[in-house]
């Protein structure tokens, strides 16, 4: 950790502990420089970090002051999912969500897409162009079924930050994380099998289960600590569960980071009942904390965790470059890869590998983490300002997705249809449940640069939700 990050953490702790109360002027840059034996620029960087975290504010010619405590909404209460395996539904609603971006003029609040306009992505564009030049004929050939060796080596290096130490040979490049999840599911499960999932859960993984004729068993999930191990254990006692699929870090849609002890507890359950864990870590590198949270894979000693991820959320979804570390299921995963897409596109793999090697990737990650954390504060404030009283809001610890729970009388499917008339779309809560629960919930994206147009769209969602309540 850098000196300015250490200093920022010290000051943050002092603020949270009440040593520096709201409204008080903080020590000057020169005072802190002398007190901590660091340079003036280090102190300035530390204060910038605290500004980004919305803890302090700079006042011209006056210095830095502690910001007033932000009012926080109650956390989502969730609901109790069906305690039995169910056939997965909601495909029509998912299809509506994933086709909506192509409608001109729609303010898309529901899609899980990152901001692709950041200037830190410009080197990637240049590298893509360079890789596509006629001199580099490798970009136009089939690559190995395993994917680019250079890229796999870079991914293995990045994984060290998550606590995982693995050889590049254990990594298989896929066409996005969606294919990685598909490969993982088919590597350990067959038609008719039962897969336990966190609830609410990523709709893409559940639709994959649906497509392969499998059933989902939803496990109650806490918005702070993640999947209930107690409920999972009861389910494992009662049902022949083949695998557990979940997103433990920067969860989609709740945003939590599952504590390490609970990750270890989950792994112990999987070992006891001899089942696989399919871990989706696609948002893990966007955690607001540093170091980033560990993967379940980092605690795995017998290869039962299949780790899936991609560059779709950290860089750009259009690259379609993901990967899987399938552990003990390596041979089966290779076969599944071969019979689906075969080799993945070569050109973006070459470009991304160079982007990482040249140091651009980590610079981009730092920028996006800061941007998303700032945007989270703004989006949460808008929701609390414009949405009906009693609205519950998640507190994401990373990523760019906000989960919102409205009064039970608000049907977000109907709300979304009303919003279409105003060229606004949300992700309705029911698509995050195998059985169509969470009808009073919705997910919103805060990745893009937030503008007055975005604020008006959020306001419109709140107004229509309030009108629906008044009409009940």
* Cis amide leading into 291 (omega within 30): yes
Residue 408 in domain: yes
- Residue ranges in the chain whose pLDDT is less than 70: 1, 69-71, 82, 100-103, 134-137
Same domain, 356 and 338: yes
- pLDDT the model gives residue 89: 82
- pLDDT the model gives residue 233: 96
Residue 75 in domain: no
Provide the domain limits for residue 107: 91-117+363-470
Same domain, 291 and 347: yes
CATH number at residue 110: 3.90.1150.10
Same domain, 271 and 210: yes
- pLDDT the model gives residue 93: 86
CATH number at residue 311: 3.40.640.10
Residue 219 in domain: yes
Q: Say how many domains are in the chain.
A: 3
Same domain, 329 and 353: yes
Residue 81 in domain: no
Same domain, 228 and 370: no
pLDDT in tens, 159-213: 999 999 999 999 999 999 999 999 999 999 999 999 999 999 999 999 999 999 9
Same domain, 106 and 142: no
Same domain, 56 and 100: no
Same domain, 447 and 406: yes
- pLDDT the model gives residue 142: 81
The domain boundary, picked from 330, 360, 390, lies at 360
Same domain, 143 and 100: no
Same domain, 304 and 401: no
- pLDDT the model gives residue 73: 83
Same domain, 242 and 127: yes
pLDDT in tens, 418-447: 999 999 999 999 999 998 899 999 999 999
Residue 336 in domain: yes
The domain boundary, picked from 360, 380, 401, lies at 360
Residue 82 in domain: no
Residue 80 in domain: no
Task: Give the rounded distance of the alpha carbon of 232 from its chain centre.
Answer: 22
Residue 79 in domain: no
Same domain, 450 and 320: no
CATH number at residue 19: 1.10.10.10
Q: What is the pTM of this model?
A: 0.87
């Amino acid at each position: 950790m850098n000196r300015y990050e250490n200093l920022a953490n010290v000051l943050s702790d002092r603020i949270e502990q009440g040593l520096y109360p709201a409204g008080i002027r903080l020590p000057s840059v020169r005072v802190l420089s002398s007190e901590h034996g660091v340079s003036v620029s280090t102190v300035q960087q530390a204060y910038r970090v605290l500004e980004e975290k919305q803890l302090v504010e700079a006042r011209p010619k006056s210095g830095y002051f502690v910001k007033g405590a932000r009012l926080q909404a109650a956390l989502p209460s969730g609901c109790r999912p069906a305690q039995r395996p169910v056939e997965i539904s909601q495909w029509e609603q998912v299809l509506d969500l994933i086709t909506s971006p192509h409608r001109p003029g729609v303010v898309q609040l529901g899609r899980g897409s990152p901001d692709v306009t950041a200037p830190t992505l410009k080197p990637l564009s240049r590298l893509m162009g360079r890789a596509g030049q006629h001199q580099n004929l490798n970009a136009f050939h089939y690559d190995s079924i395993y994917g680019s060796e250079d890229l796999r080596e870079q991914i293995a290096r990045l994984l060290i930050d998550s606590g995982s130490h693995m050889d590049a040979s254990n990594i298989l490049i896929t066409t996005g994380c969606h294919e990685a999840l598909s490969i993982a599911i088919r590597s350990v499960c067959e038609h008719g099998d039962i897969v336990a999932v966190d609830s609410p859960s990523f709709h893409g993984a559940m639709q994959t289960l649906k497509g392969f004729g499998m059933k989902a068993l939803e496990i109650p999930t806490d918005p702070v600590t993640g999947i209930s191990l107690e409920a999972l254990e009861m389910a494992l006692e009662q049902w022949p569960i083949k695998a557990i699929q979940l997103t433990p870090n920067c969860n989609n849609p709740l945003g939590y980071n599952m504590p390490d002890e609970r990750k270890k507890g989950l792994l112990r359950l999987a070992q006891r009942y001899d089942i696989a864990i399919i871990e989706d870590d696609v948002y893990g590198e966007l955690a607001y904390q540093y170091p980033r949270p560990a993967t379940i894979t980092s605690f795995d000693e017998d290869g039962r965790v299949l780790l899936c991820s991609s560059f779709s959320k950290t860089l750009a979804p259009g690259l379609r470059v993901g990967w899987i570390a399938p552990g003990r299921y390596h041979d089966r995963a290779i076969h599944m890869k071969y019979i689906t897409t075969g080799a993945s596109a070569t050109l973006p793999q070459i470009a991304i590998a160079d982007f990482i090697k040249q140091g651009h990737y980590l610079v981009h990650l730092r920028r996006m983490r800061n941007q998303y954390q700032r945007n989270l504060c703004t989006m949460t404030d808008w929701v609390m300002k414009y949405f009906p009283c009693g609205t519950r809001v998640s507190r994401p610890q990373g990523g760019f997705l906000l989960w919102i729970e409205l009064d039970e009388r608000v049907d977000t499917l109907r709300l979304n249809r009303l919003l279409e008339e105003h060229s606004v779309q949300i992700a309705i809560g029911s698509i995050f449940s195998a059985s169509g629960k969470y009808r009073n919930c919705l997910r919103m994206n805060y990745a893009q640069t937030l503008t007055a147009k975005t604020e008006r769209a959020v306001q419109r969602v709140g107004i229509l939700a309030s009108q629906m309540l008044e009409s009940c």
